[in-house]
A and B are shown apart, each in its own frame.
Chain A
């Protein structure tokens, strides 16, 4: 039973009735889905969704294919290939994003080390990475961390070993993806997460004033019974 609080209690029945009264347009939902698919780069899904729902994407789907090719290349560790593809897509991107370029070069070094090509890695670090540090002081710290990989025999167990994780590749891939989207004057983040954040925040605010059926699991959007707990 509810503890002696002054909060208003709303039953599940009541709540569901109120929810039913709120009208959401199908087109808006379709747009949200399309926006998500496009931003995340699910080209085939976007194409199919467009055919089945008639929703027009706000970006040319062919550019998504190019963008996804770049993202995939990075995720597979083919950084040189990714760089070439980005430059074909838009040569301005890496020229005007020194931080991104540095991270891609950094990833190249990491891949060389991962494949045990120590000699090549050393040369690469000297020829390609060190000049980035010279050109821009803010990269020096990260540069030091990366080069430290070369100092350790057992790279997977060293203090900077996290650089070899898959997560590092994904981070770089995500950075490239965002830069390409921005260059295409597209929002780099999908709208859906913002909506969910808004929901969580609104629920937190409402928690202070009322007891009502909350959504605990965002993936199922199941309404929790207020009388439980």
Chain B
């Protein structure tokens, strides 16, 4: 493969870099021009020269030329100074163009203040050069954040936007797009009249228009105060202008206009109702998908953003034939990873709530393409494929038919649980959590592929989110599962680990662990025995955890687990009674009393179920248990709940009374 070190007609690259420090200005200028012409367009050379320390050297030339006030007095010196400024700025801009390491190097070399100074030069070419370079830098996330809340900074920004120079106004817009994030900043920009300038610039040249549309989006995004004001401005002139550009000749302009309107729709939907804007947006975006370049890549992301969590829009997209179009692109072999990621995410979003969408995708035979993407080299694509699978596996119809519980799906998914990226693991866990709710009882497939072992391993992972998500998957797996399945789960995860997960520092993990126990002990009476493995370590952990439980969710799962256990034999019921009373010491109220007083309806309901199962009159030992409960005041409390505001609680309370008498 070709070597990375570039050779030039005038010597080795390291020489070129050292010539940048030459005492002779003419030599420095020649070296600069050579360097600039080598790196522009050439990513490989940029990286190579970065390693040779070219950026600090160029920054030094820029600083030196900026500082220099006087000179030898002859015209050529001034000219040379101008050239040095222009060329060094251009070289720095090129290093920063699309190369993160380049941006970092330019920033670290302290070149930004020097570049900013160029903007006030009387020489138009110098200004152009400085503006272009700064614009390149601000297109990267690594550019330093611009503080809009500082008064001087805001003034400077306004002066940029007021300039007659296209490149300078473009820079102003880029800075806004890059740095405007909080609502305080958006408000500050609005108050300073920035958005008015941007709306004017939208009517300007192509580059001004595109840059302004992007900036406006940044100011509008998620801001409920600023957005209405911008839209009401001059009777909706701004809104109409943006809508007009959704049908412009330039695909990039159309996309940026759509993105702006999407931001509007997500912030203030009332501007969008009644003008069928969202429907139009969907059509425009689907049409933009056809663009072969970057615009087409980004169109699917915009579509996802528009329809996410919105069932009505997903339906509109379905009616606009979105699924056909997206699957068509999927089928045509995408060489660009970004595009593939976008399409998968768009499909994930459109299928997230509606069964008609999922059915359509499966009908179109696109499922294999989605599961193929699980093995893709690119991390983002693997994540997107998992998310898409998660949406598809929400289809109860197909879960019931066992569509997903086969090796072509399970094996790659399980492999992803070993993925170096945590986001891939989490995304895979999300899909697995759904898939294991298989109603055909083909869970043995999953077990044979080593799924339970992997999930059990992950339940002890360092990352708490991974722990809770893997427990959730196990919980779903054990839902209505047969004995064989439950035994495998318990043997892989082990009672002692499960007990320790019930006492995990993270509440989300505790909740899922308790829910897993609930499902394990649910079903036939023999299942209750699972809570007593290893000397009842699990039951004991439940009791301890409930004593200290502060969140209702934890109490709910724990109480349902206890109520399932309390449906067992006398010994098992007595063991549950012990748990209710033994923790917390003499002066602490039993947790069940606390729960009966809770504001959470489900928690009260679950607690009553425990009592129902403990006091079932035909079970041996019932009288003794009732007595103990009465002595603790629990029966009295129960009686007082006849008029509980929650219907579920009232019903359960009635059942208790029927039970006991």
Contact = CB atoms under 8 A, between A and B. Distances in A.
A91 interface: yes
A135 B37 contact: no
Top-7 shortest CB links A-B: A101-B41, A185-B205, A131-B44, A94-B41, A91-B90, A95-B97, A126-B2
Nearest to B293: A99
Q: Is the interface of A mostly helix, strand, loop or mixed?
A: helix
Nearest to B45: A131
Contact of A95 (B3, B7, B40, B205): B40
Given A91-B93, A92-B132, A96-B97, A130 B43 contact: no
Nearest to B96: A95
Interface in B498-543: none
B599 interface: no
B365 interface: no
A96 B252 CA distance: 14
A117 to B, nearest CB: 13
Contact of A84 (B6, B37, B205): B37
Interface string A170-210: 00000000000010010000000000000000000000000
A185 B207 contact: yes
A53 interface: no
A126 B129 CA distance: 32
B144 interface: no
A34 interface: no
B550 interface: no
A83 B136 CA distance: 20
A97 B42 CA distance: 11
B97 A127 contact: no
B41 to A, nearest CB: 4
- Classify chain A's interface size: 20 to 34
A219 interface: no
Given A83-B37, A137-B335, A185-B207, A131 B90 contact: no
A137 B44 CA distance: 15
Interface string B43-62: 11000000000000000000
Contacts of B33: 84
A91 B32 CA distance: 13
Nearest to A126: B2
Contacts of A84: 33, 37
Given A96-B97, A185-B166, A185-B205, A91 B40 contact: yes
A127 B42 contact: no
Given A91-B90, A131-B42, 11 more contacts: A83-B37, A87-B37, A87-B90, A95-B40, A95-B98, A98-B41, A126-B2, A127-B6, A130-B1, A131-B2, A131-B43
Bin chain B's interface residue count. Answer: 20 to 34
Q: Name the residue in A83, A84, A128, A131 with the highest tally of chain B Cβ atoms < 10 Å from its Cβ.
A: A131
A21 interface: no
B452 to A, nearest CB: 41
26 contacts: A83-B37, A84-B37, A87-B36, A87-B37, A87-B40, A87-B90, A90-B132, A91-B40, A91-B129, A94-B41, A95-B40, A95-B94, A95-B97, A98-B41, A101-B42, A127-B6, A127-B7, A130-B1, A131-B2, A131-B42, A131-B43, A131-B44, A135-B44, A185-B166, A185-B206, A185-B208
A217 interface: no
A220 B90 CA distance: 49
A91 B94 contact: yes
A137 B132 CA distance: 28
A134 interface: yes
A60 to B, nearest CB: 11
Interface string A96-120: 1110010000000000000000000
B659 to A, nearest CB: 71
Interface string B121-146: 00000000100100010000000000
Interface in A105-157: 126-128, 130-131, 134-135, 137-138
A130 B90 contact: no
Interface string B1-27: 111001100000000000000000000
Contacts of A128: 42
A180 to B, nearest CB: 14
Contacts of B97: 92, 95-96
A91 B129 CA distance: 9
A87 B90 CA distance: 9
A124 to B, nearest CB: 10
Interface centre among B3, B41, B43, B97 (most CB of A within 10 A): B41
B94 A127 contact: no
Contacts of B3: 127
Given A83-B37, A87-B40, A130 B2 contact: yes
A182 B205 CA distance: 11
A164 B517 CA distance: 75
A128 B38 CA distance: 10
A85 to B, nearest CB: 10
A144 to B, nearest CB: 15
A94 B40 contact: yes
Contacts of B208: 185
